[in-house]
Amino acid sequence: MSEKIGIMGGTFDPIHYGHLLAAEECRRRLALDWVVFVPTGTPPHKKNRLVTPPEDRYAMTLLATAGVREFSVSRAEIDRNRPSHTVDTLREFLGEGQLFFITGLDALLGIDAWKDYLLLPNLCTLVTATRPGYSLAGLDAIPSAIRGSLEVVEIPQFAISSTEIRARAREGRGIRFLVPHLVENYIEYHGLYKNLEVPRT
């Protein structure tokens, strides 16, 4: 029987316990064999701020998942020298097993902005983890083709975001216990998030 592979895309700037918890809860609930974290290369939806270089985000994702047998990290989007789109990534994984694309509810509610999003249910089962601040009622507004293929996984609500972690790091407010210890050390050692987020014009 083919393996069930979860794919968790994200900017992971930086990866935090909300990501790890969402991935693990979805893995357990749907009996996935693996979850592959796929950090974005050039994020198409985040052009309004400077994103940390892909190699730093990749390194932090590796540090956060090292030692978790069922988790791995893919360079698929980082090594693609074009904007990353979920549909292209899923096509790269076709043939590896039965695919489950995992998002948080906030990301899923914006799915109609993604390239070729109506093709996604043909490529994978869409899985969405609940996220504080986003109501399941919002799902009524998404296209029925998407809703029909969707698995909703309710997870313990962890009200943390990378945006909040960057702000805390910048202001010296501490990020311990919000990100894995090795990620905290990496951010400190490399002086990440020290500067203001300068919007791109």
> Site residues (CB under 6 A) for ligand ATP?
10-13, 18-19, 22, 103-104, 106-107, 129, 131, 158, 160-163
Minimum Å gap between C-beta 152 and ligand ATP is: 12
Minimum Å gap between C-beta 135 and ligand ATP is: 14
CA distance 73 to 8: 9
Residue number, 2 or 157, with CB nearest to ligand ATP: 157
Residue number, 1 or 176, with CB nearest to ligand ATP: 176
101 contacts: CB under 8 Å, gap ≥ 6: 6, 7, 9, 86, 90, 120, 123, 124, 125, 126, 127
Residue number, 132 or 143, with CB nearest to ligand ATP: 132
Residue number, 31 or 159, with CB nearest to ligand ATP: 159
Q: Is the peptide bond before 43 cis (omega within 30 degrees of 0)?
A: no
Minimum Å gap between C-beta 98 and ligand ATP is: 20
87-96, long-range: CB < 8 A, 24+ apart: 87/114, 87/115, 87/116, 87/117, 87/119, 87/120, 87/123, 88/115, 89/7, 89/9, 89/38, 90/7, 90/120, 90/123, 90/124, 91/123, 93/5, 93/7, 93/36, 94/123, 96/3, 96/5
Minimum Å gap between C-beta 13 and ligand ATP is: 6
| Nearest residue to ligand ATP on Cβ basis | 104
Minimum Å gap between C-beta 168 and ligand ATP is: 12
Residue number, 93 or 158, with CB nearest to ligand ATP: 158
Residue number, 27 or 131, with CB nearest to ligand ATP: 131
Minimum Å gap between C-beta 101 and ligand ATP is: 9
The conformation of residue 198, written as its DSSP 8-state character, comes to P
